[in-house]
């Protein structure tokens, strides 16, 4: 069972593990209860980790995680001529919705 990544908090690790499971990749969160001993142990040893159950799914899990961490941004021209970038689905100049 290989470790995929460390997360900065339990909520993020749980979200990532849930998304992986939804994609058919068996994953679990480890070290979820160690935050209380940070200081007694080195802080980097107390962060939650996401582990993949099947080593053959590790490459796909890395790709799913990368896609989740770096979503593609929309870039489109509104009919008013404005270039709209980022996650906006509505033109900030005229208020029209992004074409589908």
Q: Do 77 and 64 share a structural domain?
A: no
φ, ψ at 87 (rounded to 5°): -90, 15
Q: Do 48 and 18 share a structural domain?
A: yes
Q: Do 15 and 63 share a structural domain?
A: yes
Residue 9: which pLDDT band, with cuts at 50, 70 and 90? very high
Q: Is the pLDDT of residue 40 over 90?
A: no
Domain extent at residue 91: 72-100
pLDDT tens digits, 75-100:
899 999 999 988 888 998 999 999 88
φ, ψ at 73 (rounded to 5°): -95, 140
Q: Do 56 and 37 share a structural domain?
A: yes
* Residue 65: CATH number of its domain: 3.30.70
Q: Do 97 and 65 share a structural domain?
A: no
0.75 cut: is pTM over it?
no
- Overall number of domains in the chain: 2
């Amino acid at each position: 069972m290989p470790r995929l990544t460390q997360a900065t908090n339990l909520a993020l690790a749980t979200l990532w593990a849930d998304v992986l499971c939804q994609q058919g990749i068996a994953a679990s969160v480890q070290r979820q209860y160690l935050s209380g001993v940070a200081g007694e142990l080195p802080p980097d040893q107390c962060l939650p980790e996401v582990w993949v159950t099947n080593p053959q799914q590790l490459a796909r899990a890395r790709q799913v995680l990368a896609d989740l961490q770096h979503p593609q941004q929309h870039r489109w021209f509104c009919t008013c001529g404005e270039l709209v970038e980022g996650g906006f689905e509505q033109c900030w100049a005229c208020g029209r919705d992004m074409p589908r």
